[in-house]
């Protein structure tokens, strides 16, 4: 960016600030709408990733969710404690884990998916179908998901 005087730089118009505000709004909608008050958005994403992969390891979840490994490990422990995930360890290696959904976990994901779709709708708000598509495309590009960051 060219040199700007402090009065020309408006933090409230910067991409980082706007992304943070949009994420805060989405998180608030999630908390207000979710039917399981104990379930966080990150936990739901991990459950969905395990569902999509059938059985997976920690590194698979880190890659799929864009959460760091310590966060994923903490989420796994909480979901295991709630009996939503089964965790199998390799003999002699307690760090190597393979996760699968329990029947309760699978039922919860099935119950929450329609609510998650509603949360997305609420987050999009009054954006048109075309605007929604453009926004998703641009966010995928910015985040490097489509290989072009």
- Residue 27 included in any domain: yes
Domain count, the chain: 1
- Residue 146 included in any domain: no
- Residue 45 included in any domain: yes
Separation of alpha carbons 84 and 81, rounded Å: 8
Model confidence, pTM: 0.84
Residues 42-61: what's their mean pLDDT? 95
pLDDT for 127 equals 97
- Residue 112 included in any domain: yes
Q: For CA atoms 148, 58, 36, 38, give the dihedral sign.
A: negative
pLDDT for 5 equals 65
Separation of alpha carbons 61 and 77, rounded Å: 13
Collapsed DSSP state (helix, strand, coil) of residue 16: helix
Q: Label residue 65 exposed, middle or buried (CB < 10 Å: 0-12, 13-18, 19+).
A: middle
- Residue 138 included in any domain: no
| Beta-carbon count within 10 A of 58 CB | 17
- Residue 108 included in any domain: yes
Tell me the CATH number at 45.
1.10.10.10
In terms of residue numbers, what domain contains 57?
A: 15-120
Residues 118-144: what's their mean pLDDT? 95
pLDDT for 51 equals 97
**Is 107's pLDDT higher than 80?**
yes
Separation of alpha carbons 24 and 64, rounded Å: 22
State pLDDT tens for residues 81-99.
999 999 998 787 777 889 9
pLDDT for 134 equals 97
- Residue 111 included in any domain: yes
- Residue 144 included in any domain: no
């Amino acid at each position: 960016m060219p040199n700007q005087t402090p009065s020309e730089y408006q933090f409230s118009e910067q991409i980082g600030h706007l992304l943070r505000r949009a994420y805060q709004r989405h998180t608030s909608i999630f908390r207000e709408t979710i039917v399981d008050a104990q379930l966080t958005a990150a936990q739901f994403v991990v459950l969905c990733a395990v569902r999509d992969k059938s059985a997976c390891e920690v590194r698979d979840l880190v890659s799929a969710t864009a959460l760091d490994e310590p966060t994923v490990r903490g989420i796994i422990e909480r979901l295991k404690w709630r009996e939503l995930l089964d965790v199998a360890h390799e003999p002699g290696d307690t760090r190597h884990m393979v996760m699968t959904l329990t029947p309760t976990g699978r039922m919860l994901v099935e119950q929450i998916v329609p609510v998650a779709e509603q949360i997305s709708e609420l987050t999009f708000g009054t954006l048109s179908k075309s605007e929604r598509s453009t926004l998703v495309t641009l966010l995928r590009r910015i985040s490097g998901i489509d290989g072009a960051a």
